[in-house]
């Protein structure tokens, strides 16, 4: 019975394809922006329906389906295009076969439904798998990228490390910051760690609490923590909220913080050539040779 139905479908594939193409055209209006050209849409539709027929002909082979799904995913078309298209195919095929059969009883009807389902279901299944697989992949990559961004640690020079923080800090991220900070300080053998909060939009009691705890932990492992990048409005909120940062060295800018970090590590920045000398030399060279 199934093979007979396959035969009918294949023999009449031209008609079914035609009916399907007419229906799928209605999808274009809702699902696609005008940026998709009519030509691309039409070609993809033809390829889509061919893939479906190839799969039916080859008794459910999914090789072409995989290749096609990759193409659609790259194009960035929505999953609903695929699922709606396949549902339409199911409906069109059933309609066609029913209207071209002489005797239609319930057993024939149920056989027909089962057969068409058997053709279409594996394709839907495969396509959804491909789609969600690609989503999950993107999501996991983004999650890793976000984690890398959320608590970066830069060893600028021997014994001094900077952690620039950008964006909102929640409890989860605060924990990550603390762990990265401590492990990084030990890994880079940092005597001083600078936490730069220039890019943190809001410092409330919770954020301040986490930063203080991180600084305390840094002190326990034997390093010094300096909080830098305190903007005027942050200083205001810190005091207005009654947050006590007296135990924590703070500096308004990274530059100042870095200078005191150098002091702590017994170093300072020296200009290799005094500026005045340079000007004198320049004047001499302009006057004479």
Partner 1 sequence: MSPHSCVKIRKEWDIVSARQLGREMAKKLGFSTVDQARIATAVSELARNIYLYAEEGQICFEVFETIERKGLRMGAFDTGPGITDISQVMQDGYTTSGGLGAGLPGVKRLMDEFDIQSEIGQGTQIKTVKWVR
Partner 2 sequence: MSIPILKLYNYLLISIQTEIDDKTAIQFQEDLLDKIHKTGATGVVIDLTSVEIIDSFIAKVLGDVITMSDLMGAKVVLTGIQPAVAITLIDLGIHMQKVATALDLEQGLIKLYQELGV
Point out which residues bind partner 1 (CB under 8 A).
172, 175, 179
Contact criterion met (CB below 8 Å) for 117 and 110: no
Of the residues 25, 216, 233, 277, which one makes contact with partner 2 according to CB under 8 A? 216
61 binds, among partner 2, partner 1, none (CB under 5 to 8 A by kind): none
191 binds partner 2 (CB under 8 A): yes
144 binds, among partner 2, partner 1, none (CB under 5 to 8 A by kind): none
Would you say 71 or 175 has its CB closer to partner 1? 175
266: left (phi over 0), alpha (psi -120 to 50) or beta: left
Q: Please report, as residue ranges, which positions from 14 to 43 form the binding site for partner 2 (by CB under 8 A).
A: none
146 binds partner 2 (CB under 8 A): no
Of the residues 142, 147, 189, 236, which one makes contact with partner 2 according to CB under 8 A? 189
Query: Got the DSSP string for 8-29?
Result: HHHHTHHHHHHHHHHHHHHHHH
The partner residues of 263 in beta bridges, in order of sequence, read: none
Q: Give dist(CA 152, CA 164) in Å, integer.
A: 7
Q: Give dist(CA 116, CA 97) in Å, integer.
A: 10
Residues near partner 2 (CB under 8 A), total:
19
Q: Give dist(CA 289, CA 286) in Å, integer.
A: 7
34 binds, among partner 2, partner 1, none (CB under 5 to 8 A by kind): none
Contact criterion met (CB below 8 Å) for 72 and 82: yes
220 binds, among partner 2, partner 1, none (CB under 5 to 8 A by kind): partner 2
286 binds partner 2 (CB under 8 A): no
161 binds, among partner 1, partner 2, none (CB under 5 to 8 A by kind): none
183 binds partner 2 (CB under 8 A): yes
Question: How far apart are CB 173 and partner 1 at their closest, in Å?
Answer: 12
Would you say 28 or 219 has its CB closer to partner 2? 219
CA 201 vs. chain centroid, Å, equals 23
Question: How far apart are CB 36 and partner 1 at their closest, in Å?
Answer: 39
171 binds partner 2 (CB under 8 A): no
Strands (E) across 74-202 are located at 154-157, 160-166, 192-199
Question: How far apart are CB 179 and partner 1 at their closest, in Å?
Answer: 6
Q: Give dist(CA 61, CA 225) in Å, integer.
A: 62
196: left (phi over 0), alpha (psi -120 to 50) or beta: beta
Q: Give dist(CA 225, CA 234) in Å, integer.
A: 18
Q: In this chain, which stretch among 24-32, 60-68, 139-147, 220-228 interacts with partner 2, using CB under 8 A?
A: 220-228
220 binds partner 2 (CB under 8 A): yes
Contact criterion met (CB below 8 Å) for 194 and 188: no
209 binds partner 2 (CB under 8 A): no
Of the residues 213, 244, 259, 283, which one makes contact with partner 2 according to CB under 8 A? 213
Query: Got the DSSP string for 122-140?
Result: HHHHHHHHHHHHHHHHHHH
Would you say 70 or 179 has its CB closer to partner 1? 179
Secondary structure class of 226 (helix, strand, coil): strand
- Which residue ranges make up the site for partner 2 (CB under 8 A)? 178-179, 182-183, 185-186, 189-191, 213, 216-223, 247
């Amino acid at each position: 019975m199934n093979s007979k139905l396959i035969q009918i479908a294949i023999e009449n594939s031209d008609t079914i394809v035609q009916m399907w193409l007419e229906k799928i055209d209605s999808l274009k209006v809702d699902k696609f922006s005008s940026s998709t050209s009519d030509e691309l849409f039409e070609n993809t539709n033809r390829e889509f329906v061919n893939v479906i027929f190839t799969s039916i002909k080859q008794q459910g082979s999914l090789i072409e389906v995989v290749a096609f799904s990759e193409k659609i995913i790259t194009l960035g078309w929505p999953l609903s295009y695929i699922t709606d298209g396949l549902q339409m195919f199911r409906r069109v095929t059933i309609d066609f076969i029913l209207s071209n059969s002489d005797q239609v009883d319930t057993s024939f009807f149920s056989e027909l439904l089962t057969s068409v389902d058997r053709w279409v279901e594996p394709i839907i299944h495969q396509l959804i798998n491909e789609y969600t697989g690609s989503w999950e992949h993107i999501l996991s990559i983004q999650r890793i990228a976000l984690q890398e961004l959320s608590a970066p640690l830069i060893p600028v020079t021997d014994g001094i490390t900077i952690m620039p923080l950008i964006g909102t800090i929640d409890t989860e991220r605060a924990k990550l910051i603390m762990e990265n900070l401590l492990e990084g300080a030990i890994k880079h053998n940092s005597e001083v760690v600078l936490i730069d909060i220039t890019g943190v939009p809001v410092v409330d009691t919770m954020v301040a609490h986490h930063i203080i705890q991180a600084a305390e932990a840094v002190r326990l492992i034997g390093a010094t923590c300096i909080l830098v990048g305190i903007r005027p409005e942050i200083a205001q909120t810190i005091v207005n909220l009654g947050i006590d940062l007296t135990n924590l060295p703070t500096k308004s800018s990274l530059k100042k913080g870095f200078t005191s970090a150098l002091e702590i590590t017994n170093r300072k920045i020296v200009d290799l050539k005094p500026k005045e000398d340079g000007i004198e030399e320049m004047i001499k060279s302009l006057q004479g040779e």
